[in-house]
Amino acid sequence: MKNLAFAFTLGAKEKLLDPKLDTCHEVHRKEYGTFPTVTASAPGKVGLLGDYTEFAKGVGISAALSCRLFVTISARTDSIVRFFSREYNERKKTAPTNLKFRKEDRWANHPKGVLASFAQLGVKVDGLDFAVTGDIPQGIGLASSQALCLASALAFNEFFQTGLSVTQLIQMAHKTETLFLGQNSDIGAFFLQAHAREDHLLILDARSYEWERLPFPVAIGELAVINSRVPASSFDSSAARAREECESGLRYLSAGRPSRALRDYSRTELREKVGSLPESARRRSLHVIDEIARTLEARDALAAGDAASVGRLMNRSHESLRDLYEVSCPEIDWLVKRLQESDLVFGARLSGEDSGGCVVALARPDAWRKFRHQTDEYERIFGFKTEVLVSRPSKGALVHQLVQTPLES
């Protein structure tokens, strides 16, 4: 795996012919009356395997999605900091001397927290205008909030010309989520968003934080994320409980031994604890241990371009998430089963981290057009209208080179 110390430097400017860029620039101009001087973006993220194992120092394989979140900045002549979100159609403002968390500022706390970190580094913060646009679906575990934090860090790094490294930007974005916002956020999503490359997956070891890019198998036409529309509240408590029970299981396993991670134990050691380890903790711990093994096996299959084996491992992962980790639900299971029955689909499973509201699938081209009637049936049975996002693995966070065209008079 590639160590972070040898990672490419975030912040290299890239010029893209992307209509999304035109949109975010026009949003900024319309809101503030001037074009931005800095634009940065970060992608949505989906986990293919191992995305419930980071707390156990596990291994995960993930992909950046084509949906992105853009942030734009321009300077002001006064000392007001203004924030605007196109998606929420909300405006917030503060002073550079008052960069504190306020519950009523909602989404604006993300860039505000990042800006506060720059101020703590000694950067002189004056007035500025900040806008957010994007198309990452929210509330289903596709890392939209992490994208906002990382894109903000990247944009402010460029705006203030502070020259922070990729390591520092990842840590700053993570610090914003955990300390400023008080959220229980893992750091893995930021690594994917920072280091993703087109037509590549990324495998991250959560113990060493070494990472490696793996080519997306040519046999796979696309990956798809299917939003089940099941409320996130249906998953929050079960995912949190599963993690707590795994941590409880670790305490049983490590009693009288030096502190170790759940990753360090085997199925045999779990069997030896039958009777002393609560059964629910044993099952969920078994999922984590098996999932790490599946992820490492999938890494070898990806390196060999073996799409079929990757798909089978994803199918087995979902069975384990459903039966051992117990974080799925009937709606998700129905969608996964229909996908797995298709000859055009290699594999499908629950994804979306703790939000758990979506399914990720790998398939041959044209699979999604033929799957549309299944989503109609799903709506008739469960009453939820799905949203299908089809994508190839996309690029990571970047600063965009601005090409400004004078407005016509």
User: 387-399, pLDDT tens digit by residue?
Assistant: 999 999 999 999 9
Does 180 share its domain with 230? no
Asked whether residue 241 is assigned to any structural domain, the reply reads yes
* CATH number where 254 lies: 3.30.70.890
Question: Where residue 356 falls among pLDDT bands split at 50, 70, 90?
Answer: low
Question: Where residue 50 falls among pLDDT bands split at 50, 70, 90?
Answer: very high
Does 231 share its domain with 341? yes
* CATH number where 186 lies: 3.30.230.10
Percentage of the chain exceeding pLDDT 70: 91
Does 145 share its domain with 226? no
- Indicate the number of domains in the chain: 2
pLDDT at 401: 78
Does 72 share its domain with 118? yes
Task: Please state, in angstroms and rounded to a whole number, the distance separating the CA atoms of residues 273 and 267.
Answer: 10
pLDDT at 46: 96
Task: Please state, in angstroms and rounded to a whole number, the distance separating the CA atoms of residues 114 and 337.
Answer: 42
Residue 21: enclosing H or E segment and its boundaries? Answer: helix 19-32
Task: Please state, in angstroms and rounded to a whole number, the distance separating the CA atoms of residues 343 and 146.
Answer: 35
Buried b (16+ CB within 10 A) or exposed e, 74-100: beeeeeebbbbbbeeeeebebebeebe
> Is residue 268 pLDDT above 60, yes or no?
yes
Asked whether residue 407 is assigned to any structural domain, the reply reads no
Question: Where residue 237 falls among pLDDT bands split at 50, 70, 90?
Answer: low
Taking phi first (over 0 means left), then psi (-120 to 50 degrees means alpha), and beta for anything else, what does residue 356 get? left
Residue 37 burial by Cβ neighbours in a 10 Å radius (0-12, 13-18, 19+): middle
pLDDT at 18: 75
Asked whether residue 87 is assigned to any structural domain, the reply reads yes
Question: Where residue 249 falls among pLDDT bands split at 50, 70, 90?
Answer: confident
Residue 1 burial by Cβ neighbours in a 10 Å radius (0-12, 13-18, 19+): middle
**DSSP SS3 for 125:** coil
3-class SS shares of the chain: helix, strand, coil, % to 5: 45, 20, 35
> Is residue 9 pLDDT above 50, yes or no?
no
Does 210 share its domain with 226? no
pLDDT at 5: 30
Asked whether residue 346 is assigned to any structural domain, the reply reads yes
Full DSSP string of 132-164 = EEE-PPPSSSS-HHHHHHHHHHHHHHHHHT---
Does 176 share its domain with 255? no
**In this predicted model, which residue has the larger pLDDT, 231 or 378?**
378
Q: 91 Cβ partners below 8 Å, 6+ apart?
A: 82, 83, 84
Task: Please state, in angstroms and rounded to a whole number, the distance separating the CA atoms of residues 148 and 74.
Answer: 17
CB 87 within 8 A of CB 110: no
In this structure, of 125-134, 228-237, 239-248, the range with the lowest mean pLDDT score is 228-237
Rounded to the nearest 5 degrees, what angle is found at the Cα of 56, between the Cα atoms of 51 and 58?
A: 55
Does 257 share its domain with 326? yes
Does 50 share its domain with 166? yes
Question: Where residue 301 falls among pLDDT bands split at 50, 70, 90?
Answer: very high
Amino acid making up residue 236: D
What's the average model confidence in pLDDT over 99-114?
96
What digits encode the pLDDT tens for the residues 322-355?
999 999 999 999 999 999 999 999 999 999 766 6
pLDDT at 225: 94
Q: 74 Cβ partners below 8 Å, 6+ apart?
A: 28, 32, 34, 35, 36, 37, 38, 128, 129
Residue 197: which of 406, 2, 358 has the closest Cα? 2
Does 208 share its domain with 281? no
Residue 203: which of 121, 303, 321, 129 has the closest Cα? 303
Does 192 share its domain with 245? no
> Is residue 404 pLDDT above 50, yes or no?
no
pLDDT at 234: 64
Residue 330, number of CB atoms within 10 A of its CB:
10
Does 360 share its domain with 339? yes
Tell me the β-bridge partners of 85: 90, 132
Asked whether residue 317 is assigned to any structural domain, the reply reads yes
Asked whether residue 228 is assigned to any structural domain, the reply reads yes
> Is residue 408 pLDDT above 60, yes or no?
no
Query: What average pLDDT does the chain have?
Result: 89
Residue 362 burial by Cβ neighbours in a 10 Å radius (0-12, 13-18, 19+): buried
pLDDT at 406: 38
Read off the pTM. 0.90
- Beta strand ranges found along 234-353 (DSSP E): 345-351
Residue 45, number of CB atoms within 10 A of its CB:
30
pLDDT at 373: 83
> Is residue 250 pLDDT above 60, yes or no?
yes
Residue 112, number of CB atoms within 10 A of its CB:
24
Question: Where residue 184 falls among pLDDT bands split at 50, 70, 90?
Answer: confident
**DSSP SS3 for 114:** helix
CB 56 within 8 A of CB 28: no
Structural domain harbouring 227:
222-391
Asked whether residue 314 is assigned to any structural domain, the reply reads yes
Percentage of the chain exceeding pLDDT 90: 73
> Is residue 378 pLDDT above 80, yes or no?
yes
Does 159 share its domain with 283? no
pLDDT at 398: 95
Residue 268, number of CB atoms within 10 A of its CB:
7
Asked whether residue 409 is assigned to any structural domain, the reply reads no
